Structure 1
Amino acid sequence: MYVGKNCCVAHRGWSSKAPENTLAAIQLAMSEPYISWIEFDVQLSKDGIPVVIHDYTLERTTNGQGFVREKTYAELSQLDAGSWFSPAYAGEKIPTLENVLDLAGGRLRMNIELKTQGNMYSGLEEAVIDHIYRYTLQHDVVLTSFEPKVVQRLKRLAPELRTGLITEMPSPDYVAVCRSLGADFLSLYYPLFTKQNAAALVQQRIGIMAWTCNHTKDIIQVADLHPELMICTNYPDRWNMAIGEGKEG
């Protein structure tokens, strides 16, 4: 596993080569030693099963319709989550969080985004935390969310786990933002990082990740800001050619 400068995070698995948030995309990420992290999204089915899917609705990435939260896991498990991407992935399923942990636990570190708004998913934090401890992955994950209240709740429920805010909002003091939530990780839209704020965050022992860098020039520029700045991308191969072991020159 690559553990050097600006580690590569495969966004929703290797989502430029396989349908996002599927076991196929995660399996591809596991195939390259320079990919040390994956990022993926978790919601709850109607019957409370943590499932890995980004959108709140099913239309874009499956052959289903309606809201994820309105379907039982039995219903979700019947959907095709691969054909939209390519006929080669016809029949790919929406995985459960358990499926992903079974596959990648202990082999890749994981940035797990709790995908929710307001009070959409009562019990989501507890369900994810329970899975992390059952698989003894508490040292291999960071739990993140766009929702500040979710970040705070995660830290209250499991203070020893790494928790982080995801944001694309400018701020003059991201350290203060994180401290106010008890967050020890910041997942920030990549154009908002500077050498100054990256250094300030690392100095305060707050982990940093830039999303989503898909162009080679952006990957290079972001990597130059700080060596500990993780780079989340749909194109891990571009990361490798830009700054990894496969870089040219």
Structure 2
Amino acid sequence: MNWPYPLWIAHRGAGRLAPENTLAAFRHGAGFGYRAFECDVKLSRDGQPFLLHDATLERTTDGQGVAGEQEWAALSRLDAGGWHSRSYAGEPLPTLEAIASYVLRNGFVLNVEIKPTPGTEGLTGAVVSRRCAQLWATSRTPPVAPPLLTSFQSAALQAALAAQPELPRGLLLEHWPEDCLAHAQALQCSAVVAQYALLDRARIEALHAAGMKALAYTVNDPAEARRLIALGIDGLITDAVDHFSPGPGVHD
């Protein structure tokens, strides 16, 4: 495919500078010039796709328990900003639709990590991919790149492939199994998104030879960013949006 995504991608909106996976974080990241964003999406009990990284609510909201076991009506009332700082108190959990509206109206691009509640991998992959396809298809803005769907969960990517094969997918890797390229190809992935220390010249070249792009997370060190750029990396996901310019090159 013609790769339409920028090199630099803001992790969870603005890294650690604002409450992750909120509209406030996206706006903060955009203020540093970022035009590509990563976020985590899971389902509420009643099937609403919304942004949250953890399976449970305690770390980044004032709620308790497993997020996916609760109705959206309850989740929508939680404070997802006060844990970060007082200035963000009251920031709500956003729906996938709200984030899509923001990025589409601004011409930004999105990397959606499918983050299922354990046991809902297939359902989450199917629902998130279908909803993404609907939201991007109905956008009234000039055409922008489709969302890149990524996941550590093969079952979620398989379900996304079955539901919306036209949307690009990426396999997330915390380790590098010997068969990971074949596995990514079986899922018809456009990219592999690996923990940055796993990527060297040989692996990046192997991905390119297999027709896939190589992306790295979470790159916060300038020396690592320079190393990967020299090796031909296709995407860098970072928390350090205040240190790295999203334009060409690396700035500290």
Bigger drift between 189-198 and 6-15 goes to 6-15
Aligned-residue offset at 1:101 = 0.5
- Which structure 2 residues correspond to residues 124-143 of structure 1 after superposition, within 5 A? 124-136=124-136, 139-143=145-149
Q: Which amino acid aligns with 2:29?
A: A
Bigger drift between 116-125 and 15-24 goes to 116-125
1:209 alignment partner in structure 2: 215
Q: Call closer, same or farther: CA 1:63–1:166 in 2, change over 3 Å.
A: same
Q: Call closer, same or farther: CA 1:32–1:205 in 2, change over 3 Å.
A: farther
Aligned-residue offset at 1:6 = 7.1
Bigger drift between 58-67 and 182-191 goes to 182-191
| SS in structure 2 at match of 1:232 | strand
Tell me, yes or no, if structure 1 residue 156 matches structure 2 residue 162: yes
Q: Which amino acid aligns with 1:155?
A: L
2:175 alignment partner in structure 1: 169
Of 234, 240, 243, the residue aligned with 2:245 is: 240
| SS in structure 2 at match of 1:135 | helix
1:180-224 per-residue CA deviation (whole Å, 9 max, x = no partner) reads 322221110110001111122123321221001112222222222
Of 213, 225, 228, the residue aligned with 1:222 is: 228
| SS in structure 2 at match of 1:39 | strand
CA distance in 1, matches of 2:4, 2:160: 29
CA distance in 1, matches of 2:219, 2:178: 22
Aligned-residue offset at 1:59 = 0.3
1:146 alignment partner in structure 2: 152
Tell me, yes or no, if structure 1 residue 112 matches structure 2 residue 108: no
| SS in structure 1 at match of 2:37 | strand
Q: Call closer, same or farther: CA 1:122–1:233 in 2, change over 3 Å.
A: same
| SS in structure 1 at match of 2:102 | helix
Q: Is the 1:109–1:140 contact (alpha carbons within 8 Å) kept by the matching residues of 2?
A: yes
Aligned-residue offset at 1:15 = 2.1
CA distance in 2, matches of 1:201, 1:59: 38
So what's the TM-score if we normalise by structure 2? 0.87
Q: Is the 2:43–2:117 contact (alpha carbons within 8 Å) kept by the matching residues of 1?
A: no
So what's the TM-score if we normalise by structure 1? 0.88
Tell me, yes or no, if structure 1 residue 231 matches structure 2 residue 236: yes
Q: Is the 1:30–1:104 contact (alpha carbons within 8 Å) kept by the matching residues of 2?
A: no
Gaps of 5+ in 1: none
Q: Percent identity?
A: 32
Q: Call closer, same or farther: CA 1:196–1:59 in 2, change over 3 Å.
A: same
Q: Which amino acid aligns with 2:25?
A: A
Gaps of 5+ in 2: 138-143
1:34-56 per-residue CA deviation (whole Å, 9 max, x = no partner) reads x2311100111111100100000
Bigger drift between 131-140 and 217-226 goes to 131-140
1:146-194 per-residue CA deviation (whole Å, 9 max, x = no partner) reads 1112212211222211011111112345432311322221110110001
Bigger drift between 175-184 and 14-23 goes to 175-184
CA distance in 2, matches of 1:146, 1:37: 20
Q: Call closer, same or farther: CA 1:95–1:38 in 2, change over 3 Å.
A: same
